Amino acid sequence: MPNPFRSPAQLAERLGDVGYLADDALAMAAFLALGLDRPLLLEGANGVGKTEVAKALAELLGRELIRLQCYEGIDTTQALYDWHYGRQLLDMRDSAGRSSADVFTRDYLLSRPLLQALEAGDRAVLLIDELDRADDEFEAFLLELLSDFAVTIPEIGRVAAPAPPLVVLTSNRTRDLHTALRRRCLYHWVGHPDAEREFRILRVRAPHVPTELARQVATAVQRIRGLGLGNPPGVGESIDWAGALHMVGVATLSADVAAATLSALVKDIDDQQVVAGSIDDVVASAS
C-alpha cells in the first residue's frame, strides 16, 4: 500500500488531529515504517506514549487495532492460534469415518491476535506490546512474522498476509531484545516530552485543567524528572496530577497541595520522599 501521508510533518499533523502529539523524530519513524512496510520498534520509559501512538495510528488510518499484550510464558497458542478441541471431538464423534486429519484444517483453527493481524493484512495495525516481558523463544518465533509477514502452521502450511499490516512493537527495556529482532524493525527511542510539548499534551488530554495550572504542571514535572528518581513520572501521570490538582480546586501550584497530591504523580515511596524533600524547589521552578 502506498504511504498514505505526503511527509512526516503531515503525519504529525494528522496524529495531532486524533490527540497524539508526536515529535519530529517519532513522526519520521512512523512515516518510514508505513512507507517501507517495516515493523516499528519503540523503546522507552513508562508512560511516554508508546502504546498510545499505535492506537492513534490505527484511529488515524481507519484500521482495526489488534493488540497482543506480552507476558512471561506467552506462547503460540495464546499469540497465534489454537485448535478448537471441543468442536474437533464433537465432529469426529458425530461423523463416523472422519479421520483426525479432517479436523486439523482452517475451519477448526482459533485465531489469536497474530493470526488475526496476518489475515487482516493492511486493514490492521498490530500492536505487540511490552515484548520485553516475553521469553527469548517467543521473540525468536516472531522473526519469520516480522520479516515475511507470514507464519508456518505445521498442519496447514504457510499463512501470509495479503498485504503487510503496520506492526508496532514496544519495550520498556527490562531486558535487551535480540539483534535479529531489532534488525527487522525500524527503531525509535521514545523519550519524555519537553515542557512545551507536555503542556500541549495536557491541553489536549486534560482540557478542563486551566491553562496556567497546566503550564505549571508541565514545568514542575520536568524538574521532578531531573531529581534522579527510580521511576520518573510518565506523561500519563502528569495528566493525572493535573486532573487531581484541578479536582482539589487549586488554580495555581503551591508546595502544600503539590505534596498532598503526589499519589497521582509518583508511584513509589522512596521517590515520593525525594520529591517531597525538594517540593519547594519544584514549585518555585514552575511559578
Ligand X SMILES: Nc1ncnc2c1ncn2[C@@H]1O[C@H](COP(=O)(O)OP(=O)(O)OP(=O)(O)O)[C@@H](O)[C@H]1O
Binding interface with ligand X (CB under 6 A): 19-22, 44, 46-52, 170, 172, 201, 205, 234-236, 239
Interface of this chain with Mg ion, residues 15 to 54, rule: CB under 5 A: 51
Residue placing its CB nearer to ligand X in the complex, 66 or 201: 201
What CA–CA distances, in Å, run from 82 to 70, 115, 120, 136?
17, 10, 18, 21
Interface of this chain with Mg ion, residues 49 to 108, rule: CB under 5 A: 51
What is the separation of C-alpha 189 from the centre of its chain, rounded to a whole number of angstroms?
13
Residue placing its CB nearer to ligand X in the complex, 5 or 20: 20
Residue 61 binding: pick among Mg ion, ligand X, none (C-beta 5-8 Å cut-off by kind):
none
Residue placing its CB nearer to Mg ion in the complex, 129 or 198: 129
Return the C-alpha cell found at 159: 499463512
Quote the DSSP letter at residue 163.
S
171 binds Mg ion (CB under 5 A): no
Conformation bin of residue 277: beta by default, left when phi > 0, alpha when psi is -120 to 50: alpha
The β-bridge partners of 169 are 41, 128
What CA–CA distances, in Å, run from 7 to 4, 13, 40, 54, 266?
9, 10, 17, 18, 38
Name the CA radius of gyration of the chain, rounded.
23
Cβ of residue 249: shortest distance to ligand X, in angstroms? 23
To which residue does cell 504523580 refer?
A: 265
Cβ of residue 102: shortest distance to ligand X, in angstroms? 43
Burial class (CB in 10 A: 0-12, 13-18, 19+), 107: exposed
Cβ of residue 234: shortest distance to Mg ion, in angstroms? 9
72 by DSSP, 3-state: which? coil
Number of amino acids touching Mg ion (CB under 5 A):
1
Cβ of residue 195: shortest distance to Mg ion, in angstroms? 22
219 binds Mg ion (CB under 5 A): no
Residue nearest to ligand X (CB): 49
Residue placing its CB nearer to ligand X in the complex, 46 or 278: 46
Binding marks (x or -) toward Mg ion, 225..254, rule CB under 5 A? ------------------------------
Name the packing angle between helices 195-205 and 235-247 (round to 10°).
60
By C-alpha distance, which of 223, 235, 236, 253 is closest to 197? Answer: 235
Residue 20 binding: pick among Mg ion, ligand X, none (C-beta 5-8 Å cut-off by kind):
ligand X
Residue 235 binding: pick among Mg ion, ligand X, none (C-beta 5-8 Å cut-off by kind):
ligand X
> CB–CB of 265/241 below 8 Å?
yes
Residue 172 binding: pick among Mg ion, ligand X, none (C-beta 5-8 Å cut-off by kind):
ligand X
Residue placing its CB nearer to ligand X in the complex, 49 or 113: 49
Residue placing its CB nearer to ligand X in the complex, 50 or 188: 50
By C-alpha distance, which of 1, 2, 25, 32 is closest to 168? Answer: 32
Q: Using CB under 5 A as the criterion, which residues of the chain lie in contact with Mg ion when the complex forms?
A: 51
